[in-house]
Structure 1
Amino acid sequence: MSEIGTIMRTSAVIPVLVIDDAAAARPMAEALVAGGLKVLEVTMRTPAALDAIREMKQVPGAIVGAGTVVTNEQFVQVMDAGAEFIVSPGLTERLADPIIASGVPFLPGVATAGDIMRGLDLGLTHFKFFPAETSGGLKALKALAAPFYQCHFCPTGGITEESAPAWLGFDRVLCVGGSWVASGTPAEIEAKARAAAALRG
């Protein structure tokens, strides 16, 4: 199983996917992977999410994780569905402890210095900066990252195709999360994925 840092370096953009119909999951994953985005985050915001993870896992080359995991029950469910990494919008010890103990790559959300210090206490150094834009944007992340030299981030929340290059230009940012790549026909999604994959240069 890969470490979270390796997963974050795999693609410049991690698609944040809200799937309402599991039947659409596999074609979407095929288009994203064909466009060069192999790391896929299926959010636990819909009843179709677990089936969507199972469908996307069948796509060769896809690294499929579960996002918006906020309870231990959800953690058990997504692991049973085959999730390869876990993303949460925040960080609590109750959620983090069993995830860390399992060894599955984990990317918890942080927005403050206290959040990051809690993560460091748990042995974590890779975080999702969320919600990125409404938490002060890139300027805030640079200020927040300064005391925590050992940490790296995946900003998510309000990131667009236009704003992503500036975020990716900060050396503490390994990737960004975004939903803009996941709309349209399979051909359109593949084209958006190809453009997003090229953002890192």
Structure 2
Amino acid sequence: MDKPNLDDYLANLGISEGDDAPNVVEAALGSAAPLAEHQEPLEVFEQFMRGVVEHLGGDLTLSVRDAGEALEADIGGERASKLAGRDGRTLGAIEVLAYAVLAKHAGRSDVRVRVDAGGFKRRQADNLAKLAERLAVQVAKSGEPHELQPMPPAERRVIHVALKDHSLVTTESVGEGPGRHLVIRPRTEMTE
């Protein structure tokens, strides 16, 4: 089976070789009015995400909200789940771009953003929380810490939150950069 090449991938996104390389932010903003500097973060985020959805076309829907600790966008529609990309990498890339747009146009580099498509991240978070619970039981029974594979900060956070009030285990992130990973330890180990 042939591995899909970049041209095929871009064609699936509606971008052809003949297209000029667009400014990604301008392309995502689409026909929306240009962003003024220092707008409200939610306005900037919503305008950017509407441009992304408009650029992708089709039957996609968008809902944006301020969840307190982060600005969240949920993309729905028949093709939304395909937008997640491999292991959610496309969503991660959209989040990075949205963060950059917020820093430039809202003057805010402290705002977290989360973008989900077709419930991909919600399902991923549910699976991580279930994994955390299973590993907590295993660590509590064995009395031995369990080290997980390196994972992105958002995924580590899901596990930290899932186990933060657990009576028998605690969690800790260790390591640096891309090797940063999570360790689940028995609470008795912490008191010794």
Query: TM-score, normalising length from structure 1?
Result: 0.23
Query: TM-score, normalising length from structure 2?
Result: 0.24
Which protein has greater RCO, CA pairs closer than 8 Å, 6+ apart? 1
The structure richer in helix per residue is: 2
